[in-house]
Amino acid sequence: MLVRLLYASRPAQQSANSLVDDILKSCRENNPQHGITGVLCFSEQAFLQLIEGDRVAINRVYGQIVQDQRHTDVSLLHYEEINERIFGSWTMGQVNLEKINPSVILKYCPLPELDPFAISGSAALALLKDLFASASIVGRA
């Protein structure tokens, strides 16, 4: 059974950018053996991550994320059973939202900056789909 999980968190340290390389490295090393794919969006203030895969594997990974000291304020935004993956090409794609046209973010957020805590899970998922459609996701691995 495939599932999709979307969550938001805040970086435990001052700068999310200093954590991103470590998180992406860990995802790219561990996700393939568990069949997990997804995308990580980040700004200085927040992470927005979507992961897809087997329900047991996704639930286990989310439990680890909640306990991960690199994250604070972990909040589940969306969880659903799926028939197919959106981000099946990435062990973990990445989007640095500071390099995205602010109008894309403003389409879904109250201000032209990522605040996944201020939007619904469906709006966050729509934002990721827009970023996918506009080829704003990089770091294919």
- pLDDT tens per residue, range 69-112: 888 999 999 999 999 998 887 777 778 666 788 888 899 999 98
C-alpha distances out from residue 122 to 1, 68, 109, Å: 21, 25, 12
CA–CA–CA angle 29, 71, 141 (5° rounding): 25
pTM: 0.87
The predicted-structure confidence for 108-124, as pLDDT tens digits, reads as follows: 999 988 899 999 999 99
Contacts of 33 (CB under 8 A, 6+ apart): none
